[in-house]
């Protein structure tokens, strides 16, 4: 028997703020989280001067050093967002965290880059293990966020570290949903995180994919726009607590939404070139998993990062799946591209907007690229929109695609 899966807790740290009222206010006022930075000036070949970061972040003093010494910034962001989600779900002090019935499915693009840099310099340049700490490796290992969450919250259930670039956190949510749906656990901590570092910026610079609209006022990134010039790298963390419905009801947990469907696939084609056919297949597969037709979806949260080939491929695939001018928004106009965190942050915002009956516009979108698909792009201002079911999509290097379908909880 397939079990129903609901969202009972949410927590986030984002470039727009770390609580829903702050984020809502900025979305509705069309305030960007993107800012100009001088940090990249020291690096030859880095043309962009833009970033989108979590401001004024620090670990709470009450966190014991023994539990945080193996954390780089990416794991720190993950831990604080997860604590907020567990509090929201009423699970922070629950025995269910420790009895094996709760697991973790959490992702990042990589571990903490500064720790990687320290480790490499000491070992490769100095050819010495002096001053090398085991914590250096633990901070930059690819599953550092998931492992640190398990250690910090003493979670003893199944653990699924997802490390698939920009689909890391959407896969984290999807695999958590599948784990509960098939009865392997009752609760899952799901999501993903990313920390800002020049290494992440450089990846997109060498592909000529970063925005170099470096002046003020900031009017980039521009997903779907004819005048787009690339993406803005960002950071953040988002955590959803997923739970089996009857388990949530039994403890009278708050329920924010239901996860109806999930799919992930691979283009099997090109490492960095988006593929509309693969995107179309993953959306159709998610609909099939949810036992829904395209007409059941009220709104699509798009991945759309503000790159030419990505925006066009995704919009064409979306238009083919739905065959109508379905409302579409990309939240990356406001936040930039939070990489391994984007799937979780966008799911969190999509759930909140669905609950309140409105959608944000794609910030900076003023003239839709005529090569994009025929969709109802939300532009200019927030729009009242009753939504019962939404789809949120993400796509990553390696041709990895994800699609999540969420339903408003009645």
Task: Report H helices in 106-167.
Answer: 113-120, 134-140, 144-153
Q: Which of 143, 197, 247, 337 is catalytic?
A: 337
CB 185 within 8 A of CB 130: no
CB 54 within 8 A of CB 236: yes
Which tokens hold the place of 6? 């609901």
Q: Is 240 helix (H, G, I), strand (E, B) or coil?
A: strand
DSSP assignment, residue 93?
T
Calpha distance 304→111 (Å, rounded)? 24
Q: Which of 166, 187, 342, 372 is catalytic?
A: 166
Which tokens hold the place of 176? 């958590």
Cis upstream peptide for 104 (omega within 30°): no
Q: Tell me whether residue 283 is exposed, middle or buried, using C-beta atoms within 10 angstroms of its C-beta: 0 to 12, 13 to 18, 19 or more.
A: buried
Calpha distance 130→372 (Å, rounded)? 55
Phi, psi of 398 (to 5 degrees): 90, 5
Q: Which of 197, 247, 256, 303 is catalytic?
A: 303
Catalytic residue list contains 303: yes
Calpha distance 399→18 (Å, rounded)? 31
Calpha distance 297→282 (Å, rounded)? 15
Q: Is 88 helix (H, G, I), strand (E, B) or coil?
A: helix
Calpha distance 114→268 (Å, rounded)? 32
Calpha distance 128→274 (Å, rounded)? 42
Task: Report H helices in 231-341.
Answer: 245-250, 276-289, 308-322, 332-335
Calpha distance 377→282 (Å, rounded)? 21
Calpha distance 299→169 (Å, rounded)? 20
Calpha distance 166→336 (Å, rounded)? 12
Catalytic residue list contains 143: no
Catalytic residue list contains 337: yes
Catalytic residues: 166, 303, 337
């Amino acid at each position: 028997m397939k079990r129903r899966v609901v969202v009972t807790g949410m927590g986030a740290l984002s470039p727009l703020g770390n609580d829903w009222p702050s984020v809502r206010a900025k979305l509705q006022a069309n305030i960007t989280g993107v800012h100009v930075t001088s940090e990249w000036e020291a690096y030859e070949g880095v043309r962009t001067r833009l970033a989108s970061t979590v401001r004024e972040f620090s670990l709470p003093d009450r966190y014991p050093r023994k539990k945080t010494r193996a954390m780089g910034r990416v794991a720190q962001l993950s831990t604080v967002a997860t604590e907020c989600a567990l509090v929201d779900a009423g699970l922070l002090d629950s025995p269910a965290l420790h009895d094996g019935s709760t697991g973790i499915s959490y992702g990042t693009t990589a571990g903490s880059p500064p720790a990687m840099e320290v480790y490499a310099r000491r070992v490769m340049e100095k050819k010495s293990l002096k001053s090398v700490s085991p914590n250096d490796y633990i901070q930059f290992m690819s599953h550092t966020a998931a492992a640190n969450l398990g250690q910090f919250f003493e979670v003893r259930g199944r653990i699924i570290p997802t490390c698939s670039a920009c689909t890391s956190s959407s896969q984290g949510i999807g695999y958590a949903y599948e784990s509960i749906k098939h009865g392997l656990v009752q609760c899952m901590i799901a999501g993903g995180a990313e920390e800002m570092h020049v290494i992440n910026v450089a990846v997109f610079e060498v592909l000529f994919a970063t925005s170099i609209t470096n002046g003020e006022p900031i009017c980039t990134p521009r997903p779907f726009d004819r005048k787009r010039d690339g993406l803005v790298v960002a950071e953040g963390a988002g955590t959803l607590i997923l739970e089996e419905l009857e388990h949530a009801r039994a403890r009278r947990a708050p329920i924010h939404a239901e996860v109806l469907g999930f799919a992930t696939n691979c283009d099997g084609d090109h490492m960095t070139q988006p593929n509309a056919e693969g995107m179309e297949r993953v959306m159709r597969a998610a609909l099939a998993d949810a036992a829904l037709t395209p007409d059941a979806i009220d709104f699509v949260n798009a991945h759309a990062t503000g790159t030419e080939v990505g925006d066009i491929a995704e919009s064409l695939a979306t238009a083919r799946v739905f065959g109508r001018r379905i409302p579409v928004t990309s939240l990356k106009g406001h936040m930039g591209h939070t990489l391994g965190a984007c799937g979780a942050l966008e799911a969190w915002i999509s759930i909140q907007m669905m609950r309140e009956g409105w959608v944000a516009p794609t910030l900076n979108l003023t003239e839709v690229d005529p090569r994009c698909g025929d969709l109802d792009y939300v532009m200019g201002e927030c729009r009242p929109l009753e939504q019962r079911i939404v789809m949120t999509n993400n796509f990553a290097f390696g041709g990895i695609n994800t699609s999540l379908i969420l339903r408003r909880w009645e």
